[in-house]
Structure 1
Amino acid sequence: MKRLIIKKLIVISQSESRSLEVPFSKGLNIILGGNKTGKSSIIKSIFYTFGCELKRIEKDWKELISSYLIFFQYGKNQYVIIRQGKKFQIFEQSKGEYLCIIESDEFHKYSNSLMDIFGVKMPCISKEGKEFNITPPLLFRFQYIDQDEGWNKIADAFDKVGYIKDWKKNTNKYVCGYLDDKYYSLQTQKAQHIMEKEEKKKELNHNQNFVEQISNSLSQLDNSKSIEEATREIENLVQQADALRKDIFSIKAEMTIYENETYMNQHKLHIVEQNLIETEKDIEFAMKQENELVCPTCGAVYSNGLTEQMNISSDYAHCEKLKMELTEALDVTENTLSDLAQKYEQISRQLESLELKIQKSQEFISYSSYYKNKGQYEMYEACGQQLDILEKKVDKISFEIAKLDDEINEMKSKKRSKEIKDKIEGNCRILADKINVPKTFIKLRDFVQVIDHTGSETPRIVYMYQSALYLYNLERTDSPFNFYIIDTPNQQGQDTDNLESIFKSLKLIMSDDGQVIVGTERETGIEDKANNVIRLIEKRRCLSSEKYNEHIELFQKLQKLALNWVAENHKKQKEVADEMIE
C-alpha cells in the first residue's frame, strides 16, 4: 500500500542565516500557536514547495525564505523536493544518500517527474491545446483548507490553474476515484489499440488489393487458351508480320523509284521553263527587227525572215508541249507516291498490332509457365494466408477495444457513480452529526459538495465535505490523497460550541493510515491523542540559527548533486544529438 507521508519541512533564509525545521508524522499533527507565529506560513510552505501557487502568502515570508525543502515518503521510498523560486529539484533518499532525479525551472517537466513518483496519469489539456499530466495544485486541491479562501469555497486555495481546460470538472472526478488512473490507463490503451487497428487495416486493404490482382490474373489464365495454342498463334503472327515487313520493304523500294523519277521530272521541268522564257524573249526581239539581224556580240549578220521567225515560234510551241507533259507526269508520280505512303502507314499499323499481339502471347506463355508449371498458385496461397492472419489480428484488436469500452463504460456507469456518492455522503452524514450541520445541507454535484448557504454553517460544510472525502480516500490502496491540512478553524466565525465540535471531530480523521495537519491558535483538547504537536511561541520568530549550519550544509550538498546531474544529463543529450547527426 502506497501512502504519501510528509516527513518534515525545512525553510532556509540565507539573507538572515536562519532556518526552520518542522517534523511531521503520520496520524494527527497539530501546529499550535498564536496569531503571527508562523502557522499559516509553515502550512502554505508545504504546498508551495510541492509546486502550488497560493492565492495569499505573507509577503515578508516569501521575501525572507530563499529555499524550501520538503521531505516525504511515498510507499517505501523517501524523497526530497527543493524549491527556489521557479527552480525545482527532486532527490531520492536511501540510507542517508541522495540521488538527483531532476532539476528544472520548467514547471510541467518537474510536475511530470513528481507524478511519475506517485504513479499518477491524468492527462490535462491547456486552453491552447497543449497536453501534460495533472499538476500538484490540481492533485492536492481537496487536501487543503486554507485560512483565507478555503473555508468559504471548496478546493479553491491555489492560483494559476485557469490555463487548464475543464480543470475543476476533471479533477473532481479524478480525486474521488470515479475517473482514476485505471480509467485513464484504459483510455490510453484504447487509443493505442485504435492506432494499431488503423495500421493493420491499411495493411489489410493493401494485401486485399494485391490478392485480388493475383486472383484476377489467375482467373484469366484458367479461362484462356493453352500454352500450345498460344505458341501456334505466335508462329502464325510471326509469319504474318514477316509478310508485312516484306510488303513494307517492297513499298519503300517502289517509293524510292518514284521519288527519283519525281526529282528528274522536276529538274527537266525547270529547264523547259527556262527555255520558254528565253524563247519568248527571242520572239519578241525578232519581231522588232528588220529582215536581217546583226549580232550585238560578234557582229555577224543573220536572216530574220518569216521562215526564221516561224522556226523560233515552233521551238516555243515544242517547249510548251514538253512542259505540259512533264507537269502531267509529275502529277501522276505524286499521286502514286501519296497512295504508296498511305499503304505504307496502313501496313505499318498492322505490323505494330501484330507485334503487340506477339508480345502479349509471349507474356502469357511466361506467366502460365510460372503459375501453372512452377508455382501452382504458391504466391496466391501465401498471400491468402497472410490475409487471413491480418484479418484475425484486426478482429482481435477490435475485440480488445470492445473489452476496453466495456470496462470504461462500467467505470463511468451510473451505478458506480452512485456508489461513490453514497460513500462520500455517508461520511458527510457522520461528520454532520458531530459538527452541527443539518443533513439536509448535504448535496453533491459532480461528487463535490454544493455551497448554497451563507453564514457560520459555510465553514463547517466545507470542513464536513473535505474531511468526508479524505476519509473516503483513506480506503483506497495506493493514492497520494491520504494527507489533509486544515488551517486555523478558530478564525472562521464559529462560536465556542461549534469550534469545540470541529476539534472533537478530528478524532474521526486521525487514523495512522493517513496524515492530518491542523494549524490552530487554540488548544483542541485532543493534543494528548495527537501523534505530533508543534508549539510556536514567539511572534515572527519561528526561524532560528540553531540548525542553520546543518541545514545549509545539507542544502549545499544537494546542490552539488544537482549540478552533477545537470552536467551528466547535458552530456547524454549531446551524445544522442551527435548520434542523430551521424
Structure 2
Amino acid sequence: MRTLKFKKLTLISDLQKKARQLEFSDRYNLILAEGKNSVGKSSVVKNLFWCFGCEPRFDDKWNSLNCKAIIEFEVGDKKYWLARDDNRFFLSDDGVKYKSFVGLSGEFSKKISEIVNFNALLPVRNKDEVVIPPPAFYFLPFYIDQKQSWSNAWESFDKLGQFSDWKKPIIQYHSGMIKKNYFDLTENIYEKKREKSAVKNKIEKYETAISIVSDFIPNIETTVNLEEFDEIEEELKYKMFDLHNLQELVFEEFAELRADKAHVQSQLVIANEALSELEKDYEFAEETDDEIECPTCGVIHDNTLVNRFSLLKDKEQAGQVAKRLEASLKKLERSVIKKEEELRDIRNQIEELNEKYYRKEEDENKITFQNILDSVAVHSVTQKVNSRKSIKFEQLYSLEAGEKALGKDRNSASKESKKIVKEKFIELFPSYISKLKAFGVNTSNIKSPESYTKVAKSGGAAESTRAMLAYYVTFYNLISIYSEEVLSPLVIDTPNQHEQAAKHYESIVSLVMNNTPENSQIFLCGMDSKKLSQMKGKGKVHLLEKEHALLEASEYEGLSEKYGSIFE
C-alpha cells in the first residue's frame, strides 16, 4: 500500500528569532533527551500533526513562541510541503505553486483527504448532511501522545467534539471494516433524508392550505356539485361556470399564498432567534480574551481576531437571511392582499347575478349562486390539495423504503469485511500482549478494534500501558493489511510509561521494530537508553540536549530567509 513519509520539519519563531530544522529517515526516527525530560521531544512530533490542522496539546511555553511550521512529506513518489501559521495553511502539490487556506475549511480538509485517500464522512450535528472531517480524524490512529493515549485510545487531539458518535465509523473505516462504498451509500441515505425533509415540509404547507380554506369559508351545507350546476338554465350556465373557474383558480392561489406566508413567518422567527444569539455571542467574545468552550459539544474555541471576525461574518450572514425573509414576507403580504381583492371582486360579480335572478321575497332557504360557487370551489380546491398531499405521502413512503434499502445494502456490503478484520485482530492482539509479557491483561473480552475502552482497564498501570501499545500496533497492522487509505507514520511518544522494567522496555522496542510493516515510518520519543541501540543503528537520531531549547538562534536567519516568503 502507499505510505506517507515525513521528510523534513522546519520550525520558525519570529517572536524569539529562533528556528530549527530536522530531517527524518524513511524508517526509524528517534527524538531523544539525554538526562533532562523537558527539551522539546513532544513538541517536535506534535508539530508534525499541527501542520496538518490537528490540535495536539502543546504546553503554554511552546504556545508563547508563536511558531510557524513547514512539513515536507511524500506520498508514494509524489512530493508535497505544507506550512501553517496560526490558522493559515499553505499547500504545495508535487512542485505546483502552493495554495493558501484559512481555517479547516471544507476545501482544505477535502484536499488533504484526497492526498491520503481518506474517504470517511461524518454527519453534521443537527443537519441531514455528511461531510469530510478535518485531517485530525485521519491521523488519530497514527499518534500515541504522551499524556492521553496511554490511558485513553482515540484521544490524541483536542477539538474533536464537532461531530457526535464519530468513533465507531472512524474506527471501522481505519481498520478496513468499511470502505468508500460504505460512505457512498451513507451519502445516498442522507440525500434521502434531505428529500424526506423537503417532502414533509410540503405536506405541512398543504395541510396549512386546507386549514386556511376551511377557515376562510365556514361549513357550507349545499350539496350542489358540477353535474347539478349544469342543469341551471342556459343563460346563467356559462356566466356562472366562468366565474366558478375564476374563483377556484384565485381561491387556490390565495390558499397557497397564505400557506407560503405562514411558512416564511416561521422561518423568520428562527432566523431572528439565530441572529439574536449570534449578536450575544459576538458581544461576549468582544468582552473576553479567554478561550471559549462550546456549551453544545464541549469544543474549546480560540478567541482570536480571526475567530471573532468569523463570528461577525456569521452574524452578518444571519442578518442578511433575516432581511431576505422579511422582504419575502412583505412581498407575500402584498400578494395576499391583492388576491383577497380579486376574490372580493369575483364575489361581487356573483352577488350581482344573485340579485338579478333571485328576489328577496323568495324562499330564504333557496340555494344562492354564491353558495353554489363556494361549495364547488371549496370542494374542488380541497380535493386538489388533498390529491397533491397524497402524491407527496407516496413520495415520502417511497423515500423511506429507499432509505431502508440503502441501509440494508450498506450493512451487507461491510458484513464480510468486518468479520475478516475482527478475526485478524483476535489473531494479532493476544500475540502482541504475549510478546510484551503483559500477562495480567485479559484478552478474552477484547475481541475487536472497537473494544478499545477495555484495553486500558486491563492489568496494572505498567501492563495496561503495554496493552495500549499492543492495541495501537495491532491497529496499525490492520490499516496496512485491510484499509484503502495511505499508511501514515506511526508516532509513539514516550512508551516507557510508569517506569517499565528494563526487560519490558526491551520488549517494547522489539515489538515496534519486528511487528510493524517494513515500508512504514516510525517515530519514537523518549529518554536516551541502551535499549534503543538496535533502532538507533537502523534509523536517524535527534538528540535534544538543552532544556527548553528546541529552537536555535543560529538557525533563524537562514531558515527565515528560505521559508519566510511563504507566509507573506
Query: What is the TM-score of this pair, normalised by structure 2?
Result: 0.58
Deviates more, 1:48-57 or 1:501-510: 48-57
Q: CA deviation at 1:10?
A: 0.9
Paired with 2:136 and 2:19, the residues of 1 have a C-alpha distance of: 26
The equivalent of 2:563 in structure 1 is 555
Paired with 1:394 and 1:138, the residues of 2 have a C-alpha distance of: 35
Partners of 2:3 and 2:75 within 8 A in 1: yes
The answer on 1:152 being equivalent to 2:154 is no
The answer on 1:431 being equivalent to 2:432 is yes
Partners of 2:41 and 2:544 within 8 A in 1: no
The equivalent of 1:455 in structure 2 is 461
Paired with 1:519 and 1:48, the residues of 2 have a C-alpha distance of: 17
The answer on 1:475 being equivalent to 2:476 is no
Q: CA deviation at 1:43?
A: 1.3
The equivalent of 1:87 in structure 2 is 87
**Cα 1:420/1:83, change in 2 over 3 Å:** same
Partners of 1:46 and 1:70 within 8 A in 2: yes
What SS is found at the alignment partner of 2:542? strand
Equivalent in 534, 537, 543 of residue 536 of structure 1: 543
Q: CA deviation at 1:128?
A: 9.5
Q: CA deviation at 1:69?
A: 1.5
**Which sections of structure 1, spanning at least 5 residues, go unmatched?**
204-232, 238-341, 350-355, 357-392, 561-582
Aligned-CA RMSD value: 5.0
Partners of 2:178 and 2:417 within 8 A in 1: no
**Which sections of structure 2, spanning at least 5 residues, go unmatched?**
203-232, 238-354, 363-368, 370-394
**Cα 1:395/1:126, change in 2 over 3 Å:** closer
* Number of residue equivalences: 410
Q: CA deviation at 1:399?
A: 9.9
Quick one: which amino acid aligns to residue 471 of structure 2?
Y
Query: What is the TM-score of this pair, normalised by structure 1?
Result: 0.57
Paired with 1:124 and 1:344, the residues of 2 have a C-alpha distance of: 67
The answer on 1:522 being equivalent to 2:532 is no
Q: CA deviation at 1:485?
A: 0.5
Quick one: which amino acid aligns to residue 410 of structure 2?
I
Partners of 2:82 and 2:89 within 8 A in 1: yes
Quick one: which amino acid aligns to residue 411 of structure 2?
N
Quick one: which amino acid aligns to residue 148 of structure 1?
K
Quick one: which amino acid aligns to residue 184 of structure 1?
F
The equivalent of 1:114 in structure 2 is 112
Q: CA deviation at 1:543?
A: 2.5
Partners of 1:72 and 1:79 within 8 A in 2: yes
What SS is found at the alignment partner of 2:92? strand
**Cα 1:78/1:101, change in 2 over 3 Å:** farther
Please list, as runs of the form range in 1=range in 2, the aligned pairs for 1:66-85 lying within 5 A after superposition. Answer: 66-84=67-85
**Cα 1:108/1:122, change in 2 over 3 Å:** same
Please list, as runs of the form range in 1=range in 2, the aligned pairs for 1:252-267 lying within 5 A after superposition. Answer: none
Partners of 2:10 and 2:21 within 8 A in 1: yes
Partners of 1:102 and 1:113 within 8 A in 2: no
Please list, as runs of the form range in 1=range in 2, the aligned pairs for 1:230-309 lying within 5 A after superposition. Answer: none
Paired with 1:408 and 1:63, the residues of 2 have a C-alpha distance of: 48
Quick one: which amino acid aligns to residue 112 of structure 2?
L
Partners of 2:74 and 2:80 within 8 A in 1: yes
Paired with 2:147 and 2:511, the residues of 1 have a C-alpha distance of: 22
**Cα 1:544/1:407, change in 2 over 3 Å:** same
The equivalent of 2:384 in structure 1 is none
**Cα 1:151/1:234, change in 2 over 3 Å:** closer
Partners of 2:425 and 2:474 within 8 A in 1: yes
The answer on 1:489 being equivalent to 2:469 is no
Quick one: which amino acid aligns to residue 557 of structure 1?
S
Deviation string 1:302-353 (CA, Å, 9 cap, x unpaired) is xxxxxxxxxxxxxxxxxxxxxxxxxxxxxxxxxxxxxxxx99969xx9xxxx
Paired with 1:112 and 1:46, the residues of 2 have a C-alpha distance of: 19
Partners of 2:179 and 2:483 within 8 A in 1: no
Paired with 2:154 and 2:13, the residues of 1 have a C-alpha distance of: 30
**Cα 1:24/1:129, change in 2 over 3 Å:** farther
Equivalent in 507, 513, 520 of residue 513 of structure 2: 507
Report the structure number with the largest CA radius of gyration. 1
Paired with 1:481 and 1:143, the residues of 2 have a C-alpha distance of: 9
The equivalent of 1:576 in structure 2 is none
**Cα 1:425/1:27, change in 2 over 3 Å:** farther
Please list, as runs of the form range in 1=range in 2, the aligned pairs for 1:26-41 lying within 5 A after superposition. Answer: 26-36=26-36, 37-41=39-43
The answer on 1:186 being equivalent to 2:182 is no
Q: CA deviation at 1:457?
A: 0.3
Deviation string 1:33-79 (CA, Å, 9 cap, x unpaired) is 3254332221122222222323353x333322521122223345433
The answer on 1:168 being equivalent to 2:184 is no
**Cα 1:52/1:75, change in 2 over 3 Å:** same
Paired with 2:105 and 2:200, the residues of 1 have a C-alpha distance of: 40
**Cα 1:492/1:44, change in 2 over 3 Å:** farther
Q: CA deviation at 1:469?
A: 0.2
Paired with 1:400 and 1:529, the residues of 2 have a C-alpha distance of: 59
Q: CA deviation at 1:516?
A: 1.5
What SS is found at the alignment partner of 2:6? strand
Deviates more, 1:466-475 or 1:176-185: 176-185
The equivalent of 2:212 in structure 1 is none
Identity of aligned residues (%): 23
Deviation string 1:396-415 (CA, Å, 9 cap, x unpaired) is 999986764443021453x5
Deviates more, 1:511-520 or 1:108-117: 108-117
